Amino acid sequence: MKVKTLKNKLPEKFYNTLEFEELRPSQSKAIKAGLLVGENIVVCSPTASGKTFVAELAGIKRIIEEGGKMIYIVPLKSLASEKVDEFKEKYEDLGIKTALSIGDPDSSEGWLAKYDIIVCTSEKFDSLLRHKIPWLREVKTVVVDEIHLLNDFRRGPVLEVILTLIKKLIPKAQIIGLSATIGNPEDLSRWLDAKLVMDDWRPIELFQGNFYEDKIDFFGSKDNIEIGKKVSDDTLRIALDTMNKNKQALIFCPTKRSAESTAVKISKLVEEVESNERISNSVLRSASSPTAQCKKLSEVISKGIAFHHAGLVQKQKKSVEDGFRNDKIKIICCTPTLAMGVNLPAFRVIMKSLKRYSGRSGMDWIPVLEYHQMTGRAGRPDFDNAFGEAISIAASEKDRDLIREKYIEGEPEEIVSKLSVEPVLRTAILSLVASEFVTKFDELIEFFKGTFYGYQYDDDFGFEFKVEDALKDVEKFGFLNIQERELKATPIGKRVSELYIDPSAAFDLIQGLRKMPSDFEVLKCILGLMFRKRILIGWKNMLKNYLRT
C-alpha cells in the first residue's frame, strides 16, 4: 500500500511527517482490517516488521482528531525509556507531549493528566487504575507491546487484569496488541474482540543454526561456518569470530552470574579499546559508591564487552545499550529480558544454553516462544545488516537434533492464562475488591468470565468454584469481609493489595510477626518469605516500610 493513499485518512500535519513511500505488509493489512476506524487489532509479525508504527498510526490520528490519550504498555523500564525518546523525537513538533511513568506504585502521578502519550509498564498502569485516575475516560488508544507475555507467570496475570478492566471501564478505547510470537493468535484476538493481522514478512533475512563440533550448521539455508579452536569454550569461540568479522552479537545466558562470567572471559581475550573510556567511567559513576559489580562492568566495557541484566541500575543499562548502538561495545552478554523489544543492532544472537533451572525438575528446555523472542533480535534493518544469524550452542548430537526440531523448525506454544494459579487468583481477587472494581460476588464472577482465563475455561465445571474457593481463602486470612454476597476489603487487606503481596504469604507474615520477640526475628521472617518468592514484587516495599519504622 502506498503512503499517499492515506492522505485523506490522516490529519494533514501527521501525514506530512511520513517520509517513506510504501507501507510495510503488516501496516497495510492493519489499515484494511479497520485500524484507522477504531477496530481493536492484534498484530502478529516478525521483529522489525513495523508493528510499532501500526499503533502510532491509530494513536496519533485519534490524539490529533479527538484529543485524549494513548497508553503504551511495555514489559520493561528500559524499553519504556526508549519508546519515550522515540515518540518525543517524532511527535513533539506536532504539539504532542509524551510522558514516562515507571515510578512509585503508591503514587497516582496526577501530573500525567497534561500528557497525550503515556508510556508505562503493566505494573505501573495497574497501579494507576487502582488509584482511580480521573483522566481514564480520556484514554482513546491502549497499546500492549509484547502481548504474548500474557503467558508469563509473573507479568501475565497483571496484564490480563488490566486488559479486562480496560474493556469494562473504557469500552470505547481501541486496543492494539503487538507480538512477534503467538501460538494461538486467534484465541487472543477473539477474547479482545479484535481483528487479527498476521504476516511473516521480515525486512532482513534470518538464518538459524546451531554450533556443534567446530561448525555452525544452518541446515542448508546458507553455507555452514567452520570456526577454529583457539579456545575451548564454544561461546567464546563464536564471540571472537563475530568480533573478527567486525560485527556485534548478543549472547543470551541463563543467569545473571553466567552473563557476567561470560563477559569477563571474553574480555580477557581481547585488547583494550581506548575510545571506551567515557562509557567505562560512566557506568562506574552510576552508583554513589561503586560496587564490585560496577567495577567489573567498567573493566569489561574498556575491552568493548558488556553484560546486561536486571541487577544493573537504569543508567548502566542505558550506557551499555547506547554503547552497543554506537558500535563501541561489540558483545553484550545478557539475560533473556533483553529480548523484550529493546532495539539493538545485533548481527548475531548466540544462545549459550536453551535450558533453564526450573526448581524441582532441574534443568528444563525453555519455551519455543522465548527462543523466537531471542532470535528475533538478530539482523535489524535500521542498523545496515544484510542478514542476521541466530546460533544455538549444542552440547551433544542429541541436543543438536532436538534444537533443530523443537526450536528452529518448531512453532511457539499457545498462550494460556496464568490467572488460575491459586496465589495469583487470590491476589487478583483482593486487588479487585480493595480497589472497589467489584463489590459483589456476582460482579466478581462476571469479571473473571471476561478475562482470558474466563474465555479459555468458562465452560469448565469447576471455574466458578475455583474463584469462590480463592475468595473464601482471602476472607479467612482477614483481608476482606463477605456479608450477604457483598464484598469489602479490610484496612489490612487494602494495604496487602497495595504492596502486591500474595495474601497467603501476607497472612503467614502477619502471624509470624505477632510471635516475634525482636526486630531481628522480624527481618528474618520477611527475608525468609522473600527468598521463597512468596511475597513477589511487594517484598521490597514491605522491607522499606519496616526499616523506616
Domain spans in the chain, listed from the N-terminal domain onward: 3-198, 205-408, 422-548
Helices (H) and strands (E) in the chain, counts: 22, 19
C-alpha cell at 24: 510495510
Report whether 305 contacts 333 (CB < 8 A): yes
pTM of the full structure: 0.88
- Write down the pLDDT at residue 516: 64
Q: Which fold has domain 422-548?
A: Sec63 N-terminal domain-like fold (1.10.3380)
Q: What is the DSSP letter of 2?
A: B
- Write down the pLDDT at residue 549: 47
- Write down the pLDDT at residue 136: 93
Question: Beta partners for 307?
Answer: 333
Q: How many CB atoms lie under 10 A from the CB of residue 185?
A: 23
- Write down the pLDDT at residue 363: 83
Report whether 311 contacts 231 (CB < 8 A): no
At CA 417, angle to CA 122 and CA 76, rounded to 5? 25
- Write down the pLDDT at residue 343: 78
CATH number at 205-408: 3.40.50.300
Report whether 314 contacts 78 (CB < 8 A): yes
Note whether 3-198 and 205-408 share their fold: yes
- Write down the pLDDT at residue 515: 72
Residue with cell string 479459555: 456
Q: Torsion-angle region of residue 67: left (phi > 0), alpha (psi -120 to 50) or beta? A: left
Report whether 213 contacts 295 (CB < 8 A): no
Q: How many CB atoms lie under 10 A from the CB of residue 142?
A: 24
Q: Select from 3.30.499.10, 3.40.50.970, 3.40.50.300, 3.20.20.80 the CATH code of 3-198.
A: 3.40.50.300
d(CA 44, CA 49): 10
Sign of CA dihedral 478, 483, 484, 488: negative
Which residues of the chain fall below pLDDT 70? 104-107, 341, 359-361, 380-385, 461, 516-549
CA 531 to chain centre: 23
Q: With CA atoms as reference, report the closest residue to 103 among 81, 132, 72, 85.
A: 81
DSSP states of 31-53: HHTTGGGT--EEEE--TTSSHHH
d(CA 200, CA 493): 47
- Write down the pLDDT at residue 73: 96
